[in-house]
Structure 1
Amino acid sequence: MQFYLDGYRPGDPEYRPAAPGRDESSKGAAALPDEVDVLIVGTGPAGVVLAAQLAEFPGITTRVVERRGGPLEIGQADGVACRTVEMFNAFGLAEKLVREGYWVNEATFWGPDGTRNGSTAGITRTGRVQDVADGLSEYPHVIVNQARMQEYLLEKMRTSPSRLVPEYGVEATGVEVLDDGGDYPVKVTLQREGGDTAVVRAKYVVGCDGARSAVRKSLGIELRGDARNHAWGVMDVLAVTDFPDIRLKSVVQSPAGGNLLIIPREGGYLVRFYVDLGDLDPADRDARKRFTFDSIVAAAQKALHPYTLEVKSTAWWSVYEVGQRIADRFDDVLDAERGTRTPRVFIAGDACHTHSAKAGQGMNVSMQDGFNLGWKLAAVLEGRSPESLLDTYAEERRVIAQELIDFDLRFSTMMAAHPTDPAHPELGGVDPAEKQRMFTEAGRYTAGFATEYTPGLLTRSAEHQAVATGFPVGQRFYSAPVIRLADAKPLGLGHVAQADGRWRIYAFAGAGDPTSPDSGIAQLAAFLGESEDSPVRRFTPDGADLDAVFDVRAVLQQDHRELEVEALPAFLRPVKGPFGLKDYEKVFTPDLKGGRDIFDERGIDRERGAIVVVRPDQYVAAVLPLDAHAELADFFAAFMQPAAALV
């Protein structure tokens, strides 16, 4: 991280002063004014990621309301995909998350013990696999309960320059977009605990208020899908057992009754059980409510036979019905109106897609909803992009949500399937080996890497993919080890990116001397720094630092000891801040000492070089040859506009 750009100050360098007009004590920042730029309804996973992003922009008036009386204290979701850890790194939170969480390194599979019969029949281990395949991510799949995940982000909000704090005990009861609403066209009716009501006008509203979303209902949007009429119990417990894999993720198919998914929790002792409770009568609306905690424990004990399970303490338990539902649309614009006006109200997370818990995707995909929308709202509200940019949220995320629904249906069906009986194959079921195979094949999805944005306004076609085959267009930017030239520090290239709304342009040098004025790197630097067509010059506000909108980084092919920073183009040492200090952290070389050359690992064309454009939410937007200056300029010109000068 970088600090002291505006002057030295003692104490914790991560502490940042409050922006002018923001309450330094973190109190009162949540008080609701009559008008706001963005009102976020709900502090679930999508809401806190969205709010944490917008908190980095103190010039944007963001407020958050939550109907509960305080922050979530007991976790619900707990699976944190590798992709989510990558996102948390952009918020500066990955180290804390990885240190505290349980690492899901391997998964075991248990099925019927065919060597036993009758009352002695039980389960036996049928397989063991690595949970996340090699090469998918430098981060692990971890388990941390949702309450802790949200607290990390709430703390990030509290200590941001905006000092953003949710206002608890406030429920949105109505949302209306007014035709003659002026600059604040969204009217939101709020009700506080105790019955008092208030009206707030907003430029934009985002409903992150769960499956029973009042924001969604106000827009007349339906959640469509089917219940599977199958119940699962879930419990977080401290237990004593002789089951040997209690500290490994375990998938159990029991001949004695039902299925289990065992997820060890953080801290070394806590463990979560997903317990198959069987089919429900669709005509009996209260069937799910009649399950008790004792019945969940009994079902788990039966499934684990001949092993024993004694629950000593319970942190949380619930019973849920499997089902997959998705909203008709993710914003307030009807299909017939699309293109005639831009959206003002959005829904995210469970407000627009619900599914089972066993694939571990609900919290993760919800957070990616918020990550996708946050930087777009900031770009529009700061005048860097037109309002039409906001159409891309629903366009991109509904496709991803539908893919999640389809995947979850297959995955939850597989998890609930009973084991095959060799004596009665006509009864169907899933063989343990087949379940293991399906589980392994789903690994890329459960790790969070199945998202791929198709060509559109923010994602180019892959016509130049050959110059950087390891950075597929539309997929998340996959980090790799590099050495920072100025101080020889080894780090991951993707780890320098922050959740700050900036675009990243990674320039990979071609063959030859990068210090030569004729090199591809020098020519690109000259274009970006001097040409009237340069997106950096066109779209960076007057008076702002050179990298305020575009964070340009160069990766050279030589060993770091063969090059001098001062010999490279001055554009790669931008002058910043009130003292005109030089930023020396823009240039990198391969980690040759570590034996991992990024040019080889990510398939960079060594002769031609490459430009890799990365969106603020870490997805690759374009791959271009190093000399494709006009194409680079045209890409940004399609959705950016000159912003007002800073004052």
Structure 2
Amino acid sequence: MQFHHHGYVSGDPRVLRAAGTGIDRPAELPEEMDVLIVGSGPAGMLLAAQLSMFPSLTTRLVERRAGRLEIGQADGIQARSVETFQAFGFAERIVAEAYWLTAMNFWAPDPQNPSHIVRGQRTKDDPHGISEFKHLIVNQARVLDYFAEYAANGPARVRPDFGWEFVGLEVGTEGEYPVSVTLRRSAGDDEGTERIVRAKYVVGCDGARSRVREAIGRKHIGAHAQHAWGVMDILAETDFPDIRTKCAIQSHEHGSILHIPREGGYLFRMYVDLGEVPEGDNGAVRQTSLEQIVAQANRIMNPYTLEVRDVAWHSVYEVGHRVTDKFDDVPVELTGRQDPRVFIAGDACHTHSAKAGQGMNVSMQDGFNLGWKLAQVLEGRSPASLLSTYSAERQVIAQNLIDFDREWSSMMARKPEEFDSPDALAQFYVDTAEFPAGFMTQYAPSILIGTDEHQALAAGFPIGKRFKSAHAMRIGDANPVHLGHHHRADGRWRIYAFADAPAAGQPSALGEWAEWMATSPDSPVATFTPAGADVDSVFDVKVVYQQTLDGVEFGDVPEIFRPRVGPFAVIDYEKVYAVDADQPDIFDERGIDRGGCLVVVRPDQYVAHILPLTARDELTRFFAGSMLAQQDLAAAS
């Protein structure tokens, strides 16, 4: 964590100095705003947290509830989400309070006595080592609390405006704030009163029954799977031996249970199979009582018993798989010719079963994808057409999720005799581990994702996939670190320059590239950094040398990797790295060519491009595809 570069900080360094719209932020909703977020779920709160880093923007978030969410339905936190939490600075704290899901056990009917269940396979949760972070279980409400804290501590001081319900909107074609939104007070002394606010952009994060989605004419496409499950968070007395381990439990006659221990050491969640839903049920299955759910759980778990002592929350749901036809307000036939003004994210555009643990996780990535793009456009660093990439990228991911969840949930509902082998469910879990962990997302080539012409230069950083961190040694303070853990949710692009063989200070391809990057008027830094801003305000440029700590002298490193930042122009010492002698060599571990290369990473942590150190014009052209030259803007003004 870096601070003090704007002067000594005597308090909590996580509370950033208020600036711009964060200074004397009005308690009441203003008449006009840059971004209006509707709904304080995972997508909305992450979006608010990210935009809180941009005090030049007026961001407001409205929520129909009177206050914070006290208990949420989602609880599974995949490793990709923990990587995201690291970017927002609270991964360590949430990991400390969460349940660590490191294994999954599979129970099936005893071949000798099918009315009883017996433990079969034990599997590791991450058998392939796809992340340094754990799979966690922690209530959604706590996740929202952490994002709310980050948003409130950001320079823009973004806090939810509770007690406001979305009624409708109209998108105009003229004026600086073309979206008119009607809101109604849903709590307080003035409950029921309405008012109209205007925004440049609106983001609907208002759940599966999204009114924002309805207002822009988008449709949920899909259907129920005609299968019901009861879910309950409980404290209970039980003799089931794996009560503190995630389990898939299949009985001979009574269906299945997905069992998930909760944080705190005592609470646990059970998804209890209630069976097929008959045609014409019309939602009657949702009236299944808690007592009936518990009784069904006991039938499935036989010979073990479950005596419920306390219920934190329970519900009944029918499995549904739906994805919205588009994630913004632009008609399909006008895509590419009209820029979007209204977006939807999270459950507003994709719904599925809870058993794959994807809802909250994918929703947060929706928000992360959109947030930095809105900031780049609103700050005049990118054209408005950039925002069309949100729907183009995230709709594909949502459909992949629906396809995976349909297969996983159908397997959980099958009877044991319907599988080809007793180990089929466990094998599917192991073989597909990368998808539910959040690491199968791979964006296609676009203005934000380059082609794979030079992929071989860094084979371990697949273009379009998230930047997979690795160990490195920071030269400035001799600290071993995970390279990717210093990628903050601050809207900046990362450019990792992996050096060729010569040491720092010796003639090299890296040295020539660094000199061009720092001094050429054609470099991305010169072209796309606003006048008067810190040299690393748009591009966070880092170097990784092939030598170990003693082989790199900080003073010999090119200036672009030792920028002077802040009002006092002090050197940033955290951009220069070497191989960590006590860990696998990052060049070998990530398949990086010893001739060096550039790895370009988007603000949302996805690898955007890989280029050789000699590809200077290509680097600038890549950024020109989605960014505006700041010299041209300055000249025009």
Task: Quickly name the TM-score band, shorter chain normalised.
Answer: over 0.9
Alignment of 1:20-419 (within 5 A): 20=20, 22=22, 29=26, 31-116=28-113, 121-180=115-174, 182-193=175-186, 194-419=191-416
The reply on whether 1:5 has 2:9 as its aligned counterpart is no
Return 5+ residue gaps in structure 1 as ranges: 421-427
Match of 2:494 among 504, 525, 550: 504
Q: Counterparts of 1:2 and 1:341 in 2: how far apart (Å)?
A: 41
Match of 1:15 in 2: 15
- Tell me the CA shift for residue 431 of structure 1: 4.2
2:457: which partner in 1? 467
Aligned to 1:424: none
Q: Contact between 1:281 and 1:287, CA under 8 Å: does it hold in 2? A: no
1:585: which partner in 2? Answer: 574
- Partner in structure 2 of residue 630 of structure 1: 617
Q: Percent identity?
A: 55
Q: What's the counterpart of residue 423 of structure 1? A: none
Residues 30 and 321 of structure 1: CA distance in aligned 2, closer, same or farther (over 3 Å): farther
**How much does 1:20 deviate?**
4.5
Please say if residues 106 and 121 of structure 2, whose CA atoms lie closer than 8 Å, have aligned partners that are also in contact: yes
Distance 2:580 2:117 in 1: 48
458, 461, 474: which one pairs with 1:484? 474
1:529 maps to what in 2? 518
Question: SS in structure 2 opposite 1:377?
Answer: helix
Letter in 2 for 1:186: V
Query: Quick one: distance in 2 between partners of 1:361 and 1:11?
Result: 37
SS of equivalent to 2:270: strand
- 1:470-496: per-residue Cα shift (whole Å, max 9, x none)? 000010000001110011011100011
Which stretch shifts more, 611-620 or 247-256? 247-256
Superposed CA deviations along residues 554-604 of structure 1, whole A, max 9, x for unmatched, are: 000111112211111122111111111111111000111x23111111011
Corresponding letter in the other structure for 1:464 = H
Distance 1:270 1:40, change over 3 A: same
Does the alignment pair 1:456 with 2:449?
Answer: no
CA distance in 1, matches of 2:432, 2:21: 49
Determine if the alignment matches structure 1 residue 602 to structure 2 residue 590. yes
Q: Any conservation in 2 of the 1:45–1:150 contact (CA below 8 Å)?
A: yes
Offset at residue 161 of structure 1 (A)? 1.3
Q: 1:429 to 1:571 in 2, by over 3 A?
A: closer
Query: For 1:107, what is the secondary structure of its paired residue?
Result: strand
Match of 1:548?
537
Shift of 1:133: 2.1
Q: Which amino acid aligns with 1:570?
A: E
SS of 2:121 mapped into structure 1: strand
Cα deviation, residue 21, structure 1: 5.4
Q: 1:313, 1:207 → 2: CA distance?
A: 35
Cα distance per residue 1:213-259 (max 9 Å; x no partner): 11000111110101011100110011111111111100000114110
- How far apart, in 2, do the equivalents of 1:243 and 1:550 lie? 54
Residue 289 of structure 1: how far off its partner (Å)? 2.6
1:600-626 Cα distance to aligned partner (Å, 9 max, x none):
1101111x1110000000000001112
1:429 CA displacement:
4.8
Task: Kindly state the Cα deviation for residue 457 of structure 1 after the two structures are TM-superposed.
Answer: 1.1
Is the 1:101–1:143 contact (alpha carbons within 8 Å) kept by the matching residues of 2? yes
Amino acid at match of 1:598: I
TM-score w.r.t. the length of structure 1 is 0.96
Residue type at the aligned position of 2:183: L
Q: 1 CA distance for matches of 2:33 and 2:267?
A: 42
Task: Work out which of the residue numbers 419, 423, 430 in structure 2 matches 1:433.
Answer: 423
8 A contact 1:251–1:261 mirrored in 2: yes
CA distance in 2, matches of 1:160, 1:445: 32
TM-score normalised by length of structure 2: 0.97
Higher deviation after alignment, 72-81 or 369-378: 72-81
Change (3 A) 1:74 1:589: same
For the residue of structure 2 that corresponds to 1:122, the secondary structure is: strand
Partner of 1:175: helix, strand, or coil?
A: strand
- Asked whether the equivalents of residues 419 and 430 of structure 1 are also in contact (C-alpha less than 8 Å), the reply is no
> Is the deviation greater in 566-575 or in 226-235?
566-575
Shift of 1:286: 3.1
Amino acid at match of 1:403: N
Quote the Cα distance in structure 2 between the aligned partners of 1:146 and 1:189.
28
CA distance in 2, matches of 1:30, 1:345: 25
- Provide the C-alpha distance between the structure 1 equivalents of 2:142 and 2:15, rounded to a whole number of angstroms: 21
Query: Partner of 1:316: helix, strand, or coil?
Result: strand
Distance across 2 between alignment mates of 1:544 and 1:645? 13
Aligned residues: 630
Question: Match for 1:320: what amino acid?
Answer: Y
Does the CA-based 8 Å contact 1:170-1:192 persist in structure 2? yes
Amino acid at match of 1:188: V
1:520 pairs with 2:509? yes
| Alpha-carbon contact 1:383-1:642 (below 8 Å) kept | no
Please say which of residues 273-282 and 497-506 is displaced more in the overlay: 273-282
